[in-house]
Structure 1
Amino acid sequence: MPVADEFNCLNLNISVPKSPAALAASEALPVMVFIHGGAFTYSMNSSPIYDGRLLAAASSDLSSPTIVVTVNYRLGVYGFLAGHDIKAYNAAHGETGTGNYGVWDQILALRWIQRHIASFGGDPARVTLFGQSAGAVSVSAHLLRDEALFSSAILQSGLLRLCGVKSVDEYQGIYERMLVELGIPLDAAPADRIEGILAVDTERLTAAMVPVFIVPVITMALCDDGVLVEGSMPGYEMYHSFTPPDWCRRLMLGDCRNECIIWNKSWDSLSRTPMALGQDMSTPDATLVLNRMSELLKSPEKAQTIASLYGLTGSSSPAETFNALERLTSHGLYAQLIYFAQKAFPAMYAYHFDVPSVFENAWGGMAHHSYDNVLIWGVLRHLLPRAQQEISDQMVEAWVRFANGAEPWERHDKAGRWMVFTEEGAVLKTKEEDTGRGYEIWDELHSGGMVADLSELSNELCLRGSELRVGTSSN
């Protein structure tokens, strides 16, 4: 069984379809390269759910043999911690920038694939980069870089700022919190502080992240260091002008209905009776939530506008408050940003994933973040009811068709329709047909210039960045 090891993790798994059609192919095969999610802190390419052999075998069954590659990259503080001390340390060793090392690992893997995938029968000119969650954030970052390492892209549940983007100053504060937690004196010389943290063993350094990052689901952010993305990284409002580079004009982009349920434990600070709704779920108090929204937005008027749009009042029950928080944060960090990206560049394949989880856990019955992976990768297919097995087959075929240069479904600019995957089937829908999604809320926020406000509010409710900055030099 593979073990997690940040010092020996830079590997990739290559699954080549074994079939007469694939082996006898006269031309090189298209390649699908997957970047896993996990908030830049968790998971690995060897996680059983990402077994590329099943997807490669399915591509052969569809008479579209495709090579599937899953890549690893450094995670947590090893992959993303940044700051002025680290930047100076890098400069002393001939490197520029700070942080984002995990993304640079991905770049190394993509360059390797360009050079060597032909030896496995793959076509370096037909590489589809796809990622989910933090993996989609990574794909978004690669699209902003001017290096043509792939020709098409699939972004599942994520754009650039999903996990946050921090300045070097902000990351310096987090770095200093790490030093305090590890007992390294803040008044030591910068070089000595770096040497001190480098001397800490892996287990202790990783464990220090838990108290430092506050939130139960530790989430590492990208660093806006002016190097990974030349200049500065776009803010939330920039998705109104989302445009892919000329070398990658084939895109697929979509979301799940209940994305932000993954951060529900972050709302415990706004609750009075934790877990009353079921396992691992808090019951937020409406008054506390409304007050916190006003504080975070620095505007009672904006807080009231957003609360009204999501049906949240001071008399909302705990269950109603919880559901409103889940919906507004799912919209703020995922759905509305993806919607505006689709509007800005409609020549893409747009989708929504509404298939509810069949597993008996806290998120059962929800089309929650990452459940789309269950259907696309197929490892747990045998545990799904027949209807979901059929949706899984349709999604696999769509992803493979896209990687092979074919249309997975009608492109969004043809008639303004999204492919909506539900338990009953997959159907193309317009805004008018896809009722209850939230389009009218996003359009109203856009008209009032409050798209960024909802996203920033959602980021604070889930990742609690302002609390993370308290007592640091970045505050």
Structure 2
Amino acid sequence: MNLFREDWLMPSFPTAHTNCADPGSLVFYHSRTCLVRLPPSPPPSLPTTICSMPIAQMYCKVSAPQVHHIPLQSTFHGVVHSISTPEAQVHQYRGIKYASIPARFRQSKLFTSYKSSTDATKYGPICPQYKSRESIEEAMFGLSDDNLPKQSFKQNEFECLNLNITAPAGLNPHSRIPVMVWIHGAICLLLLTEELIEEQAPAGSTTEAALVHRSTLIGKPIIMVTFNFRLGLFGFAAGPMLREDNKAVGDEGVGNYGLRDQRKLLEWVHHFIGDFGGNPSNITLFGESTGAADIVSHLLSTANETRPLFHRAIVQSAILEPNAPDVSAAGWHLSRLMSALHITTVEQLRAIDADKLFAYGLTLRNVDDGVFFRSGWRSCFQPDDAHLRDHHAFSELLSIHKIPKRPSRSPHPNAGLTAFHPPANLQPLVIGDCASDSSVWSLHAAQWTAPAVVRRIKAVCQSLSKGTNLMHAYDISPYTSDDEVVQRVLDLINDARVAWPTECVAQSARRDRGGHGVWRYVFDQDGPTVNLPHHAVDLVYLFDNVPLPESVRSPSSSMMSFYGDFCEFDDVDEDSDDSVVIGDEDGCSWIQPCVDVWSYTHVRDTMQERWIAFANGEAPWNDEKVFVFGPEGESGERSACIFDGRRRRQVWKEAFEPLGMQVVHKVGLELSRGPPVEGILDIFFLSFHISHMHSGLAFIFIGFGLAEHLFLRGVVTDSMVSVFKIVVIQGV
């Protein structure tokens, strides 16, 4: 194969890939067990002169890119990404192995032994994971599979630790441009389990290419790195037996294999990104959902305290787990799993084929093994008032870092806001959430009745007064109608699992950084395909590769005029109302499309530019204010009083703080699971429901997975699991 051949490249739609790091082809949304792929869209900001050219003139002759990497003693041969334009060519190096896995449930090792010539034109394998019949694009974004490219993902447990590098053309080791490292997140497979299940997109099936392309066009080029890591049982199993096994071979700690894979990726980038043109001293870590939660884990890790490997972070809609189990608790779940498999030793567990473990450990997450997290890490989830009442040693140590804000001498109004120099382990932070992140739990929330919700909240709170206060705050009572209770439960889940923990982390980070270096945002813009600021909708705008519906592409001239008048200025009067009503003089209002081409483009461009500016070391906005994205295309800095109206901050103070983070999180967790399955009749009902709604082997697997999951939770017995599987098969 001639790797030095010349290809004819035409700027066109990106093609589908099978790796979670392709920036220009599919939306950057991954999870711990599958890939999220979104269909490509035309390159953003394509110059009119190019668009108006005859087709024959749009072709340009390019050579396959290559990097002669001296430290690694290898030449990496990549591809020219299809998003490239004459003004901004984008190169990509795919499927580069960054670490090796010596054995299942062992910590990975940095990989540096490459052949003299490395083919980096194909995406690498992903971690073994569940294959969903219904695509995540359809479940999350309302996109039909008929309009999506077909994709096939190679899975390999021991070869899944690979990365993709997407960079502007023309770089060399002296370029030293900023590097952005993306950690993918998770989604909720509603029919399989009540928890978030991470599905991994192959490390190249998202849209970082659009972001890299955009960064070049605005004169602030960046390199993006995306990567695969171990998921589910393979990445997060833990227990006393595994700890002893790992200790015997010299591994420190147990579990968190996926997190440690991420750390190995950062080590690889730190050592070797320089020859690709990146600056190892200017790395921004960013992610969404559980990927964002992983970033918080890295910020709170012992390794980050002693040897930081990234320099700033962006946390988007983190699904945080403040109640991470210890090794003993994690071991209880692992022992039940081993019992279900009729095995007793770690070696027997290692010997089981990976395909047979898909249904197990799907919801396993980080574990507090006494090694990975630094001392006092849980104080990060305490609100300000609780912190003042309970001084942890860690927070006391960090309180000595009081960094004054320095005036700017730069002509850029925000450029001077990053002039402070906090300790290296207190990285500058952008953090925010979407208004309806709880949308991923909507199916389970819809199963609740008002009396059942009241019983569950009282049981979890174990305090009649505090539980009643919580229900009063969200207007929940035994007499709430079925239609109303679902939305109120979703509001409570949203605040308990995402919004309030996000605010607590932001407050803690700002407190530790002397009041500065933390930028807060809220994303309230509806999606172009779903009229809701749902979970992961911000990725649609950030990575810009979802085809817009016809209603979005064709706004009326009157609405364009209205939006132009309303959003002409970046800020609004802080005392004004934070909403706009369109109607006639009689007070009658009418619904306008939530998203049109102007509002979509405005939010997309603003978000991309702010993220790119932050990666380049600039302040994305005034850190004393909150940045809003949406609704209806609005974007800009807003005061704290506006933020109080966008989120239920007063409710959190009155109803959440008396309960504490652990109880509040458990309330959100229990409600997001839906009503409990109580008996064999419910098992029969669920099995028939699954098999009749969805035919095929894929949903036999879902039924099996649900049965095993209920067994591991202690809901059903081993014999009931066998009956359940028979019912599912007969139904299909």
TM-score range, shorter chain: 0.7 to 0.9
Q: Deviations over 1:18-64 (max 9, x none)?
A: 3xxx649964100101110115732235262x232221111001110
1:46 to 200, 203, 207: 203
Q: 1:233 to 1:170 in 2, by over 3 A?
A: farther
Within-5 A mapping of 1:324-363? 324-344=488-508, 345=510, 346-347=515-516, 348-359=518-529
Question: Which residue of structure 1 lines up, in the alignment, with residue 161 of structure 2?
Answer: 10
Q: Conserved in 1, the CA contact under 8 Å of 2:300 and 2:373? A: yes
Amino acid corresponding to residue 607 of structure 2 in structure 1:
M
Asked if 1:256 is matched to 2:413, the reply is no
| SS of the residue 1:441 aligns to | helix
1:200 to 323, 337, 352: 352
1:34 to 170, 174, 182: 182
Task: Write the distance in 1 (CA, Å) between the matches of 2:325 and 2:164.
Answer: 31
Task: Write the distance in 2 (CA, Å) between the matches of 1:16 and 1:287.
Answer: 55
| SS of the residue 2:178 aligns to | strand
1:296 to 432, 450, 460: 460
2:601 to 370, 377, 389: 389
Q: Could you list the runs of 5+ residues in structure 2 that have no partner in the other structure?
A: 1-16, 19-152, 187-195, 388-394, 402-421, 553-595, 677-709, 717-732
Identity score, percent? 28
Amino acid corresponding to residue 51 of structure 1 in structure 2:
T
Question: Which residue of structure 2 lines up, in the alignment, with residue 234 of structure 1?
Answer: 378
Q: Could you list the runs of 5+ residues in structure 1 that have no partner in the other structure?
A: 210-217, 268-281
Question: Which residue of structure 2 lines up, in the alignment, with residue 171 of structure 1?
Answer: 330
Question: Which residue of structure 2 lines up, in the alignment, with residue 215 of structure 1?
Answer: none
Question: Number of matched residues?
Answer: 431
**Alpha-carbon offset, residue 196 of structure 1:** 1.7
Q: Conserved in 1, the CA contact under 8 Å of 2:177 and 2:221? A: yes
Larger Rg: 2
**Alpha-carbon offset, residue 72 of structure 1:** 1.4
**Alpha-carbon offset, residue 425 of structure 1:** 1.6
The Cα RMSD (Å) is 2.7
Within-5 A mapping of 1:401-416? 401-411=613-623, 413=624, 416=625
Asked if 1:222 is matched to 2:434, the reply is no
Q: Conserved in 1, the CA contact under 8 Å of 2:528 and 2:600? A: no
Q: Conserved in 1, the CA contact under 8 Å of 2:330 and 2:367? A: yes
Task: Write the distance in 1 (CA, Å) between the matches of 2:339 and 2:249.
Answer: 25
Q: Deviations over 1:392-427 (max 9, x none)?
A: 11111110011011122221x3xx434343233213
Q: 1:324 to 1:365 in 2, by over 3 A?
A: same
Q: 1:436 to 1:115 in 2, by over 3 A?
A: closer
Q: Conserved in 1, the CA contact under 8 Å of 2:448 and 2:486? A: yes
Task: Write the distance in 2 (CA, Å) between the matches of 1:95 and 1:451.
Answer: 32
Asked if 1:155 is matched to 2:307, the reply is no
Q: 1:208 to 1:148 in 2, by over 3 A?
A: closer
Q: 1:368 to 1:409 in 2, by over 3 A?
A: same
Question: Which residue of structure 1 lines up, in the alignment, with residue 574 of structure 2?
Answer: none
Task: Write the distance in 1 (CA, Å) between the matches of 2:381 and 2:166.
Answer: 39
1:132 to 288, 293, 296: 288
Amino acid corresponding to residue 667 of structure 2 in structure 1:
L
2:247 to 52, 73, 91: 91
Task: Write the distance in 2 (CA, Å) between the matches of 1:72 and 1:58.
Answer: 24
**Alpha-carbon offset, residue 173 of structure 1:** 1.5
- For CA contacts below 8 A with separation 6 or more, give which structure has more relative contact order: 1
Question: Which residue of structure 2 lines up, in the alignment, with residue 71 of structure 1?
Answer: 227
Within-5 A mapping of 1:436-447? 436-445=646-655
Question: Which residue of structure 2 lines up, in the alignment, with residue 375 of structure 1?
Answer: 541
| SS of the residue 2:234 aligns to | helix
Q: 1:125 to 1:260 in 2, by over 3 A?
A: same
Q: Is the helix fraction higher in 1 or 2? A: 1
**Alpha-carbon offset, residue 183 of structure 1:** 2.6
Q: Deviations over 1:160-211 (max 9, x none)?
A: 526x511111111211221132232xxx4xxxx21221111111111234xx
Task: Write the distance in 2 (CA, Å) between the matches of 1:11 and 1:44.
Answer: 12
Task: Write the distance in 2 (CA, Å) between the matches of 1:283 and 1:72.
Answer: 35
Task: Write the distance in 2 (CA, Å) between the matches of 1:395 and 1:106.
Answer: 25
